[in-house]
């Protein structure tokens, strides 16, 4: 009799929930009992993993009727030593029963629950970690062979399964009557048994990379609780689909991965445990000592991301120039010298192609990736490729613009923009006289403005600007943006009427006239210099 396969990792984490909750209950000497059903996602409900056994009798002598689908603990006033022995005995019993028939377990199951991908910065960043050294990131294109690409996909799939199994364990343990909290240390301690339990999948990959995956989940929960305490939208960690889990981290070069594994070969290669030596298109040299390595998938393209520890570079020669910049929509950037950088509007230029590609994709019914036809997959890849091209264009423009500012100026001041608040949809306006009816709130106009703000990519640009300025020894300061375009730089008069149009500034007190963006950049520069002089350190 055939049954649907069960995810081996999820099943193991389910077993650990039973033992974890039993330890908690026995340690606290609760008189109430609980029943923990040992099951896993994908199993024929309401059967448990034991229902998948096809042998009539197990080596331990248990008949099929004696294999209970639940384990019930009724703790009395026992000592902690007795509780520990009982718990270890139950754990050994479960581990003895599970491997009886492994044919029923999953080898290629995708998680049906969709989740948002973990966003990572796709730019060369740097962070100062002291006076004499810093961390710089490099991103290179990999050119894996066909078998290596399959192995890399399996690596992402198995790490995704580990992530989802660990998340399910935390959810089930907390939903239990004991309200047990599972932390990273407890889950990391289970990796050794998981790898021995599933050597073909989980045991194939690097132990450190699996620890990094569990650490990623722990960071997601830490951010979840931080948002709750601060009153923000909580954003509970979600399950990840195989197609949305695109990154595997290796915390240390030499542990499961080796950068430049063939130094005698003119072609750079990186070696991954379970994959082999993969060719890398190294377009620039890597300075310093490689600390961490990450594998990243973008569509059908593979990248390797390195972080290297290197000496603090020598600052650029001083120019004696200071500048303030005003970010906008009509002009991408306006500085205090009156120079305007036009807005490239990459997304708007690609809107026609993207609209046609999305219309072609909409003709196909929504299906899982494994059930899509070849034309359906081709349509999905085309839409994704257009989005990636726009993102690369936006990133390239941000890098070039920031580099020009850093090379030309010693001090740069910019507005401390709350971009997320600026691109929010307007709140609904209910009609007080007619329940269920809403008044116009300008949502259509605001939606167009939000698209333009997101297309400009101010956040990415400011992040790159700070990173490049730190590397070059320049100073960048963010100032309060309030009234920067309404204050007259000549007399200091501040009024809403000083800006009659989007581009024109005309002071009602002294009659000073200038471009509104230039006035804003001048006020930003002055506020930045005041703040720098107030905080000389």
Q: Is the dihedral of CA 450, 454, 460, 465 positive or negative?
A: negative
CA angle 460, 466, 470 (to 5 degrees): 145
More confident residue, 153 or 111: 153
DSSP strands (E only) in 189-288: 247-250, 257-259, 269-272, 276-281
Mean per-residue pLDDT, 202-220: 96
Residue 189 pLDDT > 70: yes
Tens digits of per-residue pLDDT, 27-43?
332 222 222 322 333 43
The pLDDT score that the predictor gives to residue 166 is 95
Task: Give the list of residues 6+ apart from residue 475 with CB closer than 8 angstroms, or none.
Answer: 410, 411, 412, 469, 532
**Quick check: 216 pLDDT over 70?**
yes
Buried b / exposed e along 243-263 (16+ C-beta atoms within 10 A): bebbbbbbbebeebbbbbbee
Mean pLDDT over each residue of the chain, to the nearest integer: 79
d(CA 183, CA 175): 15
Structure-block tokens of residue 374: 């070849």
Question: Does 442 or 412 have the greater pLDDT score?
Answer: 412
Residue 250 scores a pLDDT above 80? yes
Higher-pLDDT residue of 327 and 67 is 327
> Is 420 in a helix, a strand, or coil?
helix
CA dihedral 445, 449, 451, 453 (to 10 degrees): -170
pLDDT at 405 over 90: yes
Q: What tens digit of pLDDT does each residue of 409-419 get?
A: 999 999 999 99
Buried b (16+ CB within 10 A) or exposed e, 393-430: bbbebbbebbeebbeebbbbbbbeeeeeeebeeeeeee
Residue among 69, 59, 65 nearest 39 (CA): 69
pLDDT tens for residues 340-361? 999 999 999 999 999 999 999 9
Report pLDDT for 132: 66
58: Cβ contacts below 8 Å, ≥ 6 apart:
67, 97, 100
Contacts of 411 (CB under 8 A, 6+ apart): 321, 322, 323, 474, 475, 476, 477, 528, 529, 532
pLDDT of residue 193: 93
Q: How far apart are CA 491 and CA 509, in angstroms?
A: 8
Label residue 13 by pLDDT band (50, 70, 90): low
Could you give the CA distance from residue 322 to residue 100 in angstroms, rounded to a whole number? 73
Sorting pLDDT into bands at 50, 70 and 90, what band is 248? very high
**Spatial contact of 211 and 250, defined as CB atoms under 8 Å apart:** no
Task: Spell out where 429-529 has E strands.
Answer: 429-430, 438-439, 475-479, 504-506, 513-515
pLDDT for residue 533? 87
pLDDT at 255: 92
pLDDT tens, position by position, 147-187: 999 999 999 999 999 999 999 999 999 999 999 999 999 99
Residues 303, 270: contact at Cβ < 8 Å? no
The residue ranges of every structural domain in the chain are 8-104, 126-311, 322-534
Instruction: For the chain, give the percent of residues with pLDDT over 90.
Output: 60
Residues with Cβ within 8 Å of 271's Cβ and at least 6 positions away in sequence, in order, are: 257, 258, 261, 277, 278
With 0.85 as the threshold, say if the pTM is over it.
no
Backbone angles phi and psi of 499, in degrees to 5: -120, 85
Q: What does the pLDDT read at residue 444?
A: 87
Encoding tokens for residue 108? 């290629």
| 463-492 average pLDDT score | 92
pLDDT band at 2 (very low <50, low <70, confident <90, very high): very low
Q: Which residues contact 161 (CB under 8 A, 6 or more apart)?
A: 7, 9, 10, 109, 111, 201, 202
Per-residue model confidence (pLDDT) at position 29: 27
What does the pLDDT read at residue 521? 94
Q: Tens digits of per-residue pLDDT, 46-101?
A: 222 222 222 233 333 333 333 332 333 333 333 334 334 434 443 333 333 333 33
């Amino acid at each position: 009799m055939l049954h649907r396969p069960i995810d081996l990792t999820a099943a193991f984490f389910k077993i650990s929930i039973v033992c974890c909750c039993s330890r908690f209950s026995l340690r606290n000497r609760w008189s109430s009992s609980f029943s923990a059903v040992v099951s896993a996602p994908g199993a024929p409900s309401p059967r448990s993993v034991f229902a998948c056994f096809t042998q009539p009798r197990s080596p331990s002598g248990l008949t099929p009727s004696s294999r209970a689908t639940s384990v019930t603990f009724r703790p009395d006033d026992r000592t902690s030593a007795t509780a520990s022995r009982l718990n270890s005995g139950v754990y050994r019993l479960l581990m003895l029963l599970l491997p009886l028939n492994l044919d029923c377990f999953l080898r290629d199951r995708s998680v049906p629950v969709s989740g948002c991908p973990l966003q990572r910065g796709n730019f060369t960043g740097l962070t100062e970690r002291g006076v004499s050294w810093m961390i710089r990131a490099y991103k290179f294109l990999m050119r894996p062979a066909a078998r290596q690409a399959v192995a890399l996909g399996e690596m992402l799939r198995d790490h995704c399964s580990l992530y989802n199994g660990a998340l399910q364990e935390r959810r089930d343990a907390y939903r239990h009557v004991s309200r047990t909290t599972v932390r990273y240390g407890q889950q990391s301690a289970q990796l050794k048994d998981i790898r021995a339990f599933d050597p073909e999948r989980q045991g194939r990959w690097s132990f450190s990379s699996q620890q990094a995956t569990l650490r990623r989940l722990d960071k997601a929960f830490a951010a979840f609780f931080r948002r709750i305490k601060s009153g923000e939208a909580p954003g509970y960690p979600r399950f990840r689909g195989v197609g949305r889990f695109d990154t595997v981290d290796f915390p240390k070069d030499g542990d499961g991965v080796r950068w430049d594994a063939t130094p005698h070969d003119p072609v750079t290669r990186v070696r991954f445990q379970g994959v082999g030596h993969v060719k890398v298109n190294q377009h620039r040299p890597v300075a310093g000592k490689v600390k961490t390595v990450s594998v990243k998938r973008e569509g059908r393209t593979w990248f390797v991301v390195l972080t290297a520890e290197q000496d603090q570079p020598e600052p650029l020669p001083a120019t004696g120039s200071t500048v303030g910049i005003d970010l906008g929509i009509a002009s991408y950037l306006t500085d205090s010298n009156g120079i305007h950088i036009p807005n490239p509007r990459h997304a708007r230029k690609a809107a026609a192609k993207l609209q046609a590609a999305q219309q072609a994709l909409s003709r196909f019914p929504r299906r899982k990736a494994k059930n899509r036809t070849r034309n359906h997959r081709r349509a999905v890849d085309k839409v994704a490729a257009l989005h990636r091209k726009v993102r690369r264009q936006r990133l390239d423009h941000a890098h070039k613009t920031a580099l020009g500012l850093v090379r030309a100026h010693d001090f740069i001041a910019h507005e401390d923009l709350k971009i997320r608040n600026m691109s929010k949809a307007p709140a609904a306006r209910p009609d007080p006289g007619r329940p269920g009816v809403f008044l116009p709130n300008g949502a259509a106009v605001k939606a167009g403005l939000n698209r333009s703000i997101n297309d400009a990519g101010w956040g990415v640009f400011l992040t790159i600007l700070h990173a490049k300025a730190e590397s070059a020894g320049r100073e960048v300061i963010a100032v309060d943006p309030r009234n920067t375009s309404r204050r007259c730089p000549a007399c200091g008069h501040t009024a809403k009427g000083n800006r009659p149009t989007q581009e024109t500034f005309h002071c009602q007190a002294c009659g000073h006239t200038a471009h509104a963006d230039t006035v804003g950049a001048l006020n930003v520069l002055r506020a930045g210099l005041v703040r720098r002089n107030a905080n000389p350190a």
